[in-house]
Structure 1
Amino acid sequence: MDIATRADLDVLLRRFYTAAFADPLIGPFFTEIAGTDLDVHLPRITDFWERALWRTADYRSNAFAPHAALHTARPLTAEHFGRWVQLWHATVDGLHRGPDADRAKAQGERIALAMLRRLGGKDAPTAGDGPGFVPLAAVELRMAA
């Protein structure tokens, strides 16, 4: 079944962030550096994704600013964004199939690449060799096709 409602997004995002917080590579950005309280943060993230997928939520925050602050505290790399994409795809695929699920995965890839480029400049590396890493160069090639 496809992602169809805000409630679907809530379940998807809770599952994704539970995995992301526990991940040894990207988890510390959420738990140690940002000290993210998922119950407080989740409504805003859900607004973001509801707007990204269906243009129905009133999301007006600057999604880049908190990532820039994290990057200042500890640099975010292509490996970190690649892991985020990998976990995002796995979570979406584990719960949903359909056009909106595909759109959510593609949008996640676009966001990861845009964030990486904004943080590291247009020449930011897009490949890595860490364990479980999804090279963002591969994402770029797929998006260009």
Structure 2
Amino acid sequence: MKRDIENTQDITLLVETFYRDLCKISEMDNLYNEVIKIDWETHIPIMVRFWGSLVLREGGYRGNILSHHHHVMEKYPLTQEMFHTWENCFLETLNRLFQGPNSDKTKKRVRAMSQSLIKKLDI
């Protein structure tokens, strides 16, 4: 039986596994590694703080995800399909690793975030 997301180590496992899985999809790998040229050593801890704030109420995340995505759109046209790919990959990773109330809360947040960004970015 899988356990629930309980601590920062669980969030770290989720985030690292998710991005590894996401970058197996060629379009997403291209976006992150060729277009954005993301610095993974910087990005992963930021995303751990972000998800830790949302799921475990740990705090520590300071940023504006909408402005970050606007910045990406200056370099590359994001599509609804890309957000759906991101959402589906995140949910698959989450379902493979965890189950429980925090996991369920995270699923709701992922779906809401994907839809919100699509709407706010007008794509």
Q: Is the 8 A contact 2:6 2:56 kept in 1?
A: no
- Corresponding residue number in structure 1 for 2:85: 83
Q: Is the 8 A contact 2:18 2:90 kept in 1?
A: yes
TM-score, normalised on structure 2?
Answer: 0.92
TM-score, normalised on structure 1?
Answer: 0.79
Unaligned runs of 5+ in 1: 125-145
Cα distance in 2 for residues equivalent to 1:116 and 1:40? 25
Moved more, 85-94 or 63-72: 63-72
Cα distance in 2 for residues equivalent to 1:42 and 1:60? 14
Structure 1 residue 31 and structure 2 residue 29: aligned?
Answer: no
Report deviation, 1:22: 2.2
Higher relative contact order (CA 8 A, sep 6+): 2
Structure 1 residue 52 and structure 2 residue 66: aligned?
Answer: no
Q: Give the structure with the larger helix fraction.
A: 2
Q: Is the 8 A contact 1:51 1:59 kept in 2?
A: yes
Cα distance in 2 for residues equivalent to 1:32 and 1:112? 22
Unaligned runs of 5+ in 2: none
Q: Secondary structure at the match of 2:26?
A: coil
What letter corresponds to residue 92 of structure 1 in structure 2? L
- Corresponding residue number in structure 2 for 1:94: 96
Number of residue pairs the alignment of both structures matches:
121
Structure 1 residue 69 and structure 2 residue 44: aligned?
Answer: no
Cα distance in 2 for residues equivalent to 1:79 and 1:25? 11
Correspondence 1:101-116 to 2 at 5 A: 101-116=103-118
What letter corresponds to residue 119 of structure 1 in structure 2? L
Q: Calculate percent identity across the aligned residue pairs.
A: 25
| Per-residue deviation, residues 64-85 of structure 1 (Å, max 9, x unmatched) | 2221111121211110010011
Cα distance in 2 for residues equivalent to 1:34 and 1:74? 8
Aligned-pair Cα RMSD in Å:
1.2
